[in-house]
Amino acid sequence: MEAIVLAGGLGTRLRQVVQDLPKPLAPVAGRPFLAIVLDHLSRQGFTSVVLSVGYKHEQVRAAFGDAFAGLSLRYAVEETPLGTGGAIRLATRRCEESEIFVMNGDTYLEVEFGAMRQAHRAARARLSVCTVQVPDVARYGAVVVEGSRIAGFAAGGSAGPGPINAGVYLMARDLLEGMGLPEAFSFERDVLAPKLDELRPLAFAARGMFIDIGIPADYARAQQLFASP
């Protein structure tokens, strides 16, 4: 299996606790958080990862090189910020498989990737979206699932427990080609939401742990979750 890990964010919300480091290198339990993510992918059977990098990308490359935990690593470097969609499209051009997992380098999600791929293929989907249940959807926005498909996204401001888009996708490598999209664009706002009826994304529910270290409170929580026993 092959994955794109989006690791090019500026990490502005973490600057008060993590300075002078790209967000994927933020130390969690004594290790770069990206190392924890890559270890998980290796255990799940991935063999190849394209790291989508931008801000201080030289530090990421210096930390991980061309191989890590049995994974072959390649780099897609954003010379200027491309948004999530532009970053994904650039990285897919470095990929080799016909279907690619995409995920965020500041998020850890326990999901059975093999089962997700099996469901994706059985449904003959071109795009599958991983969902996860959280205690409060306010930070992320809720996702609406009807049957096995993503049907919509709830308006902002809603709160309480519910499923969210976990930011893990399985997509055809050429999904974003031929859409007439600009160089820089948001995958969520410019593709996923407006093209729901066309794409009919498959919803795949993850049951395991989910944490996004993008804000200081969850970054602190991650230190406890990944601390050695």
**pTM as predicted:** 0.93
Total structural domains within the chain = 1
Q: What is the pLDDT of residue 25?
A: 87
Instruction: Determine how β-strand 2-6 pairs with β-strand 99-104.
Output: parallel
Distance CA 191, CA 223 (A): 34
Q: Are 41 and 49 in contact (CB under 8 A)?
A: yes
- Looking at every residue in the chain, the average pLDDT score rounds to 91
Least confident of 25-34, 35-44, 87-96, 163-172: 25-34
Place of tokens 């500041």: 106
| Residue 18 pLDDT exceeds 70 | no
pLDDT at 157: 63
Does the structure show a pLDDT above 60 at 15? no
Residue 109 β-bridge partners: 210
pLDDT at 17: 61
Q: Which domain, by its residues, includes 149? A: 2-225
pLDDT of the residue at 12: 61
Tell me, what's the pLDDT at 158?
A: 73
- Residue 8 banded pLDDT, cuts 50, 70, 90: confident
Cβ 22 vs Cβ 11: under 8 Å: yes
> How far from 122 is each of 98, 129, 197, CA to CA, in Å?
16, 15, 19
User: What does the pLDDT average to over 191-201?
Assistant: 94
Q: CATH code at 59?
A: 3.90.550.10
